[in-house]
Amino acid sequence: MLRSLLPFPILLVGLVLWAPGNQAQHCRLVPKQQVQLGTIPQAPLSGAGNNTSSGSVQPSQTAPTSTSTSPSAMPFNYGKDTIRGVNLGGWFVLEPWITPSIFENTNNSDIIDEYTFGQMLDPDYALDVLQNHWNSWITEDDFIAIKTAGLNHVRMQIGYWSVPITSDYTNYTTSVSPYVPGAWPYLLRALNWAKSHTVHVILDLHGAPGSQNGYDNSGRRGSANWAQGSNVNRTLDIIRFIAEQVGGMIDVLELLNEPAGYQSDIGGVVSGYWQDAYHAVRQVAGTSLKVMIGDAFLGVGNWDGFLTAPSAQGVLMDYHEYQVFNYNQLGFSQDEHITSSCQVLNNLKAYASSNLYTVSGEWSNAITDCAKWLNGRGVGARWDGTWQSGQQVFGSCDGYSGDSSTFSSDYKKFLRKYWESQVAIGEAVQGWIFWTWKAENADDWSYQKGLSGGWIPQDPTNRMYPNICS
């Protein structure tokens, strides 16, 4: 339970948050009007509907001030218009490499993810830190800057522990301990900012019960236990709740980020989950809300003919491409990084031509794993040999990550070329979303720093190397 309580009701996007004296009363949610399901062709996908559905907030949460809930004036024409966007990583799901200061300030090296952050800290302190972070890491000014940079989408991450589902909407536990909930009101405010500045939103369930991949970006580093017990069914109820509550405020709902399909138990349930979650969204949000799935690390070819029209519609495929997490790719020359990007382009284009609309939903400018704690808090880099002894060492990390003031002009020139090669992937299919907008000390991963540093153009359609993959 959160310790920060309001002594008075606040109206947030049409929902009253009651003071502690009313805690015994459930927050009753009003379902959206059901939309008749149909068999709309896959191409093109229409944008999100204009219904604005508000989200519920648990009585004990402190809410930021609400802004207007008027929807975007123009829906996005998926399949015709190109998605050009950026992830807002590290905001509602902590990642130690994006905001290392939050973890360093705990003075406890055993705090390695959001799970241990809630588990090992005083609840009042943890909540205070998180509320300050939710209130300041991304602000309305960032949405304005994103729009000014010519981008039309943000992909926003949420952990299941921040979704205020109640026992009225699930037969499974609603406990999220030891996670610290409370981000939901800040998410609602962010959705209003996006609407105000005509930035379209992909909302991504980034962390599921049990962890879908064992990465710290799922909320809990270690074992991936999502396929165990009731976790999958619990996730279905959470997705249904999200779709019902904010389906009218977002354009695309991503059913789960990066489930570890290479792990046999998860690989055995993920296709069924995609199907069940798709139908759950359709039941409560109709056909205007688009649905996004991922390749679960199995490659898009594994999903040939899956959730395609006419049995399903309004589904997009999310593909993630990084070239820094294995020794073979770290050994690439700069030209080989470009070549690898162009090979991905051809693979995705072939898939998208006869399957789902496809988005390159995560990628970065990094060609090393040198960003501090990229591989986990307290874990070094493969690049300089600090990750594991006895492995290949590629050189010093100096000048490759961290503060871009250390980047050489030649390196910045390459970063521009590499950025264009990866943008070419997304432009060849249905779009792209860079990871991530900002990071405390990893400028090779920051779109914001790329803009100010000159290796990302102010206009994302500007090309210095227009035929880079020709």
**362 catalytically annotated:** yes
Instruction: Please report the DSSP string for 278-328 in residue order.
Output: HHHHHHHHTTTSEEEEE-TTS-GGGGTTTT-TTT--SEEEEEE--SSSSHH
3-state DSSP percent of the chain in helix, strand and coil, to 5: 35, 10, 55
Please state, as a whole number, how many other Cβ atoms lie within 10 Å of the Cβ of residue 354.
Answer: 9
| Element at 11 (helix H, strand E) | strand 10-12
b/e for 406-443, b at 16 or more Cβ within 10 A?
A: ebeeebbebbbbbbbbbbbbbbbbbbbbbbbbbbbbbb
Under DSSP, the state recorded for 252 is E
Catalytic residue among 114, 362, 420, 427: 362
**Separation between Cα atoms, residue 190 and residue 201, nearest integer Å:** 10
Query: Does the N-terminal peptide bond of residue 310 adopt cis geometry, omega within 30 degrees of 0?
Result: yes
- Which H or E run contains 421? helix 409-428
Catalytic status, residue 258: yes
Secondary structure (3-state) at 32? coil
Q: CB–CB of 444/364 below 8 Å? A: yes
Measured CA angle at 99 (ends 371, 242), to 5 deg: 115
Q: Which residues pair with 207 in a beta bridge?
A: 159
Catalytic residue among 95, 244, 254, 258: 258
Q: Tell me which residues are annotated as active site.
A: 258, 362
